[in-house]
């Protein structure tokens, strides 16, 4: 029998944590609950979950700090993180995404929305296609081994950035709007703001290092991957 995807729920309010856990179980997931950063880290040390629902406001170490910490370690950097919080202002959402979250769920939220967002981040853990390699200039991505290298140097990308780069490399020199990237990379049933694309493009460029200049901003239109590195103005433009 296929095992259920394991979701680590880091939430300090017992009633909310129990409600989330029950709905996850009914939705086909296995729920592991932690009420603070110490318990959450212990759970990760025992077994890696398939995704993490992480509350922003926690006793002691905040969820924002935890997300940054987990993104720095090879063992946990690839786990999808969904930030769960009552802080719904755009600056807070951007802060959560910049800290390493893959998605952002604002309280109060519906059970179906939560389950849909979890399924979405789990779907995009794997690349668009798992049977090919693609090269653009000296940037090479191998979907089978989930490896990326530039000028023969290995690069490390998170799961969302990997899929975003894979899609851009398979459609090199084409301009993609933010909405089209959301549909193609995140999926057309995911409730994510277009601003999310900008955050992940920024993270992608940072992870690519010198190759980040290949990801070009086309003002008023979106983004494209180009063989010729963009000018600094084009790369950083909006």
What is the domain partition of the chain in residue ranges? Answer: 6-123, 133-236
Q: Which candidate, 141, 113, 112, 196, places its Cα nearest to that of 185?
A: 196
Q: Residues 53-91: pLDDT tens digits? A: 999 888 888 888 999 899 888 888 888 999 888 766 667
Q: Which fold is adopted by the domain 6-123?
A: Rossmann fold (3.40.50)
- In degrees rounded to 5, what are phi and psi of residue 31? -105, 135
User: Rounded to an integer, what distance in angstroms lies between the CA atom of residue 137 and that of residue 107?
Assistant: 44
Average pLDDT over residues 201-216: 94
The structure's pTM equals 0.55
User: Rounded to an integer, what distance in angstroms lies between the CA atom of residue 222 and that of residue 238?
Assistant: 8
Q: Residues 164-180: pLDDT tens digits? A: 999 999 988 899 999 88
pLDDT score, position 216: 94
* Summary mean pLDDT of the chain: 84
pLDDT score, position 148: 93
Name the 3-class secondary structure at 180.
helix
Query: Does 133-236 carry CATH code 3.20.20.330?
Result: no
Cβ neighbourhood burial of 228 (10 Å; 0-12, 13-18, 19+) = exposed
User: Rounded to an integer, what distance in angstroms lies between the CA atom of residue 101 and that of residue 97?
Assistant: 5
pLDDT score, position 73: 85
pLDDT bucket at 19, cuts 50 / 70 / 90:
very high
Average pLDDT over residues 101-129: 78
pLDDT bucket at 149, cuts 50 / 70 / 90:
very high
User: Rounded to an integer, what distance in angstroms lies between the CA atom of residue 227 and that of residue 222?
Assistant: 17
Q: Which candidate, 60, 63, 62, places its Cα nearest to that of 52?
A: 63
Residue 127 parent element (H or E): none
Weakest-pLDDT range from 15-24, 45-54, 191-200, 214-223? 191-200
């Amino acid at each position: 029998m296929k095992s259920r995807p394991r979701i680590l729920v880091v939430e300090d309010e017992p009633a909310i944590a129990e409600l989330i856990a029950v709905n996850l179980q009914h939705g086909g997931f296995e729920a592991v609950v932690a009420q603070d950063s110490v318990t959450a880290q212990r759970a990760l040390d025992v077994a890696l979950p398939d995704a993490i629902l992480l509350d922003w406001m926690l006793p002691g170490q905040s969820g924002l700090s935890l997300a940054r910490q987990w993104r720095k370690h090879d063992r946990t950097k690839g786990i999808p993180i969904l930030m769960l919080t009552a802080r719904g202002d755009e600056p807070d959402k951007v802060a959560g995404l910049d800290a390493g979250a893959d998605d952002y769920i604002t309280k109060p939220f519906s059970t179906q929305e939560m389950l849909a967002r979890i399924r979405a981040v789990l779907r995009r853990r794997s690349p668009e296609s798992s049977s090919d390699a693609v090269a653009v200039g000296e940037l090479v991505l191998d979907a089978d081994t989930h490896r990326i290298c530039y000028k023969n140097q290995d690069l490390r990308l998170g799961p969302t950035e990997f899929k975003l780069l894979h899609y851009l490399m398979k459609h090199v020199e084409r301009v993609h709007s933010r909405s089209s990237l959301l549909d193609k990379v995140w999926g057309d049933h995911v409730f994510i703001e277009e601003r999310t694309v900008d955050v992940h493009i920024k993270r992608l460029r940072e992870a690519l290092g010198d190759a980040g200049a290949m990801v070009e901003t086309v003002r008023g239109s979106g983004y494209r991957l180009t063989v010729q590195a963009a000018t600094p103005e084009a790369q950083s433009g909006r």
